[in-house]
A and B are shown apart, each in its own frame.
Chain A
């Protein structure tokens, strides 16, 4: 019931403005009708009152009497109602209404069907009058409810129906009031029935089907007509006569409407635009709108983006409304985004991660422009000459090297140094195993007297002016090695015996691992660290890389990571030969005890390239021991020849049995694994040789560094003398050496903190392989024997 009343109410609301227009007329008319018709007066006045009540609801100014009529002189000539509504009489009406509704049930639907007509039509005064009269007449003949139904059924009664609607509306509302008071919870039954069909238009068909019943008669008639038409010609019955019809008078009528505004809209659907839209998931408004912001402030692009989104939403031809709505929503969010961005930038911009990355790349690009020729030479690429500029000879930076005989020559390409490293001495260098452009350099003093805090710098070839990572260390760094299985891990051994592991992937400057708390840590400087792959640890569990270190306290330890660094001694270096204890200034003294337990400092070690169980150790005594990981008591072999501490032992990368050693007794010795005496002894100057390294490219070439000279030996060319010798500036000592893969260059560290990259030019070694080296050894042995 509520819905029906709502509908009715809606109808009345729609009707109200129009009824308001004609309210005056209706009331007037009604009065006419009341006077003329012999209907129930109370009911008519009722309707008036109903009208007045409706009008009260409307926005029109309202007195208790509703409409006010004024004549020209401003007198109030509002007709007064004939009689006032009697509330006592309403109730039986309402009940009658409901009863009638229960009985017939047609009124509701009638109202619904007729409201269409009422709302769609406009009121014409005289028409309503006639309607009302007719309706009044119809009303008068019946009782209240039946008259109501008749009104409804009279479809042409528009105004009256509005009135009747208001009537019913009022009654219904009053009835509702009564209802609310008394019978709220009552269940009311409603019957819906269908009215008879209203014929609005009936155009009978002109054509008849051939199969129809009257087809014959129709055909007959058609034939007759045709005959008639034929007979018409020249027949006296039919006379042609002209007639003049009046043409209707034409009248021009002007109409003005708002100009239709046209707007041009352009869409640019590009492939990437569509890709962006669909990949950022249509429906996620923020993502697409942030993608909006991301491209550009260009209006064209943003509009195209917005307009290209609408096909996604409407999936049809762009309708102006949808585009307008999408545009407005986009602009709103766009405005929001710009607001938030304005607040944040530019400080946040400069600190953002992306900006730092871009800066890094930009720095490298700028430096690449500067260093292009040198980097190309390093990488063995042809050096391109800049076509736009004059070719200038390459500059020499840093350490000056004098060139020796033109063909084979050493050329300094550039040197890694920055203000942080000036004054530090380079103690060790290591290449990254995974990225051959990354170099770690450790700075620390050899001199144990004045200890400075050390430094580790990770340099990249792409930026020779500033290190990529800087790790300050508490004591001087003496050994470095990158891990192969975790390429970001760098192990460092220090002067104070501690071992630290750094992760170069982050920018943190602190060590990831530190052995300072380990109870078994080394008590002397750690001279070398190395990551090795062990097949199986002695515990049977650790497969993978472990860190092995040798230090001046005579221990070779393996470190494992188990809640911190723990070490396990692989070997304790014992003394061999009754040599007196030598005290060297500042160095720790060795225990002068019984022969068996004396320990000697280990200075270097090297694992066999093929067999990770075997390694060589060079000691301070001058012995080289071959040891095995599985045996931590005895040496497998001892090679005695050097007379001074062995600074470096290195296996040949090409020949599995050959190794080199250099010591402070001015010699470099070439050994073969099975011979206890050196095959070859190289000596050039009376200077301690600090470092020696096989060339990774040529099997017969190795590089050695003594205090102030770099020597390149090519065994294929000359056994007795180095092939290339380069001296350094006076005052600068060369301290460390590193060979590089993929290149002809050699890295030299000196005591000024420079790491020079020197290219070996025209060595003439050719592609000498291991066979050449073995050949040399064989011939040497033969000649020795002879």
Chain B
């Protein structure tokens, strides 16, 4: 348990990390380093996207499943680790 917290702190202090959000599968944020509005917005949008991505992967091969999702944009990169119970979202701008 401590290890989880320590790792979260370490990720938070890495270069360029703008925010970390942990959301349950229902879309309720458990932990976030961003403000509430952004958190809720991210949670809702990313949930839909992850679902779509998962359907895409599984439709091609039902034995496959989505393990990680990275969205690279001009300004930053959103990295999502989805699971059946939660989503772990990290937003980073690595070139700061």
**Which A residues have a C-beta under 8 Å from some C-beta of B?**
270-272, 274-276, 279, 293-298, 301, 341, 345-346, 349-352, 354-356, 358-363, 365-367, 369-370, 372, 386, 388-389, 392, 465-466, 507
Contacts and interface: CB of A to CB of B under 8 A. Distances in A.
B14 interface: yes
B30 A346 contact: yes
A359 B4 contact: yes
Interface in B47-92: 51, 54-55, 58-59, 62-63, 68, 70, 74, 77, 79, 81, 83-86, 88, 90, 92
15 contacts: A270-B55, A271-B62, A272-B58, A272-B59, A274-B62, A349-B86, A355-B4, A355-B88, A358-B81, A358-B88, A365-B68, A365-B79, A367-B14, A370-B16, A507-B3
A366 B1 contact: no
A213 B49 CA distance: 84
B34 interface: no
Interface of B: 1, 3-5, 7-8, 10-11, 14-17, 22, 24-27, 30-31, 51, 54-55, 58-59, 62-63, 68, 70, 74, 77, 79, 81, 83-86, 88, 90, 92, 94-95
A366 to B, nearest CB: 5
A366 B79 contact: yes
A206 to B, nearest CB: 64
Nearest to A295: B84
A388 B70 CA distance: 16
Given A270-B55, A341-B85, A366-B92, 6 more contacts: A272-B59, A279-B62, A358-B81, A362-B81, A362-B90, A392-B95
Contacts, number: 108
Contact of B58 (A271, A294, A360, A466): A271
Contact of B24 (A294, A349, A386): A349
B58 A350 contact: no
A466 B85 CA distance: 27
Nearest to A298: B51
A296 B10 contact: no
Contacts of A372: 94
Nearest to B81: A358
Nearest to B67: A361
B62 A275 contact: yes
B62 A276 contact: yes
A294 B83 CA distance: 9
A354 B14 contact: no
Nearest to A347: B1
Contacts of A274: 62
A389 B77 CA distance: 13
B85 A271 contact: no
A667 to B, nearest CB: 44
A597 to B, nearest CB: 52
Contacts of B92: 366, 369
Contacts of A346: 22, 24, 30-31, 86
B2 to A, nearest CB: 10
A699 B10 CA distance: 41
* Most chain B Cβ neighbours within 10 Å, of A294, A351, A356, A365: A365
A395 to B, nearest CB: 10
A275 B63 contact: yes
Given A355-B4, A360-B7, A366 B90 contact: yes
Nearest to A369: B94
A377 B58 CA distance: 35
Contacts of B11: 359, 362-363, 366
A351 B7 CA distance: 12
B21 to A, nearest CB: 12
A620 B87 CA distance: 59
Contacts of B22: 346, 349-350
Given A349-B85, A369-B77, A271 B1 contact: no
A627 B41 CA distance: 71
B85 A345 contact: yes
Contact of A351 (B1, B55, B58): B1
A289 B93 CA distance: 40
A276 B59 CA distance: 11
A350 B14 contact: no
A361 B81 CA distance: 8
Given A270-B55, A359-B88, A370-B15, A466 B10 contact: yes
Contacts of B83: 354-355, 358
A356 B17 CA distance: 19
Nearest to A341: B85
Given A270-B59, A360-B7, A363-B10, A297 B26 contact: yes
A276 B63 CA distance: 9
B24 A345 contact: yes
Contact of A294 (B59, B77, B79, B84): B84
Contact of B70 (A352, A365, A465, A507): A365
B68 A361 contact: yes
Contacts of B8: 359
Contact of A349 (B3, B16, B30, B58): B30
A350 B1 contact: yes
The 5 closest A-B pairs by CB, nearest first: A275-B62, A272-B58, A369-B94, A389-B95, A272-B62
B39 to A, nearest CB: 14
Contacts of B51: 296, 298, 301
Contacts of A351: 1, 4
Nearest to A359: B7
A352 B14 CA distance: 23
Contacts of B58: 270-272, 275
A388 B74 contact: yes
Contacts of A272: 55, 58-59, 62
Contacts of A294: 84
Nearest to A291: B84
Contacts of A271: 58-59, 62
A363 B7 contact: yes
Contact of B86 (A276, A355, A389): A355
B94 to A, nearest CB: 4
Contacts of B27: 297
Contacts of B3: 356, 507
Contacts of B4: 350-351, 355-356, 359
B61 to A, nearest CB: 8
A608 to B, nearest CB: 43
A275 B83 CA distance: 19
A363 B68 CA distance: 13
A397 B90 CA distance: 25
Contacts of B79: 362, 365-366
